[in-house]
Amino acid sequence: MRIRPFLKWPGGKYRLVDRIIATLPKGEVLIEPFVGGGSVFLNAEFKRCILNDANQDLIDLYQTLQQHGKPFIRHCRTLFKKTYNTEKQYYRLRKQFNQIEDVSERSALFLYLNRHGYNGLCRYNMRKGEFNVPFGRYQKPYFPESEMESFFEKSKRVTFVCEDFRKTMKRARKGHIVYCDPPYVPLSNTARFTNYRAGGFDLKEQEALSVLAKKLAKKGIPVLLSNHSNEITQQMYQGADIDEFLVQRFISCKGKKRQRVLELLGMFSAES
């Protein structure tokens, strides 16, 4: 039975996790430079994982859950009372989140915002770096207790880091497997869902990622990448074994724009 992530996360790989895991080679250590919601590590079997994300709030939440387990889960539950599911309370707690420094409390609020905010988005004001997702207006936001407990158990074999993806990939050694799920290249000039942290992820970063993947593959370290399949990625991922497939997109706020798009898995290995 597959394990669901406890966060809503744009670009999450839960629906594709079986396909991804079937493509990953065997190894002792899994490295994910863009862990996001964590669907892959939660459902893969490795002795150890090194999981990175550029979003400090995300990594703080994962580390807090890893360190404190059930007491932290019980504390998070208190924020899912009906009295907190109002527009007034949401914006009060969002403001508190943007001002507070205590990591544990900030992590609990990050979970609250994730489940009560609009469409599960994680978005920051680019100028101030403040979380600015509006209220979601859900009748009864789901509290992911069992999913958090499963994450806590799986995290016992994990090292969480928040650093540049290049540094994370340089940790890779023989016997390690790297899975990269970066912010996708845009389908159009207006389709940019990369502001899940201040700074974004542009095409220069995409190019740097593909170059580094090729370098690791030449050293005998397999690297699997996910992305949209278009002219940009086809060019960047030349030399990789490509698996293309259609997926349903759920990120758009407008139902009419929730359409099937072409994605790919690109495997760089010594044999490719």
Instruction: Write the pLDDT tens digit of every residue in 67-106.
Output: 999 999 999 999 999 999 999 999 999 999 999 999 999 9
Contact 112, 7 (CB under 8 A): no
> Global pTM?
0.92
> Which residues lie across from 161 on neighbouring strands?
52
Question: What's the pLDDT tens digit per position in 28-58?
Answer: 999 999 999 999 999 999 999 999 999 999 9
Task: Say if domain 14-54+155-268 classifies as CATH 3.40.50.150.
Answer: yes
Name the pLDDT band for 10 (thresholds 50, 70, 90).
confident
What pLDDT is attached to residue 188? Answer: 63
Name the pLDDT band for 3 (thresholds 50, 70, 90).
very high
The token pair that represents 138 in the structure block: 């859900």
What pLDDT is attached to residue 257? Answer: 56
Question: What's the pLDDT tens digit per position in 166-185?
Answer: 999 999 999 999 999 999 99
CATH superfamily of this structure's domain 63-147: Adenine-specific Methyltransferase, Domain 2 (1.10.1020.10)
- The ranges assigned to domains in the chain are 14-54+155-268, 63-147
Spell out the SS3 assignment of the chain: CCCCCCCCCCCCCHHHHHHHHHHCCCCCEEEECCCCCCHHHHHCCCCEEEEECCCHHHHHHHHHHHHHHHHHHHHHHHHHCHHHCCHHHHHHHHHHHHHCCCHHHHHHHHHHHHHHEHHHCCCECCCCCCECCCECCCCCCCCCHHHHHHHHHHHHHEEEECCCHHHHHCCCCCCEEEEECCCCCCCCCCCCCCCCCCCCCCHHHHHHHHHHHHHHHHCCCCEEEEEECCHHHHHHCCCCEEEEEEEECCCCCCHHHCCEEEEEEEEECCCC
Name the pLDDT band for 193 (thresholds 50, 70, 90).
very low
Which residues, 6+ apart, have CB-to-CB distance to 74 below 8 Å?
none
Flag whether pLDDT at 195 surpasses 50: no
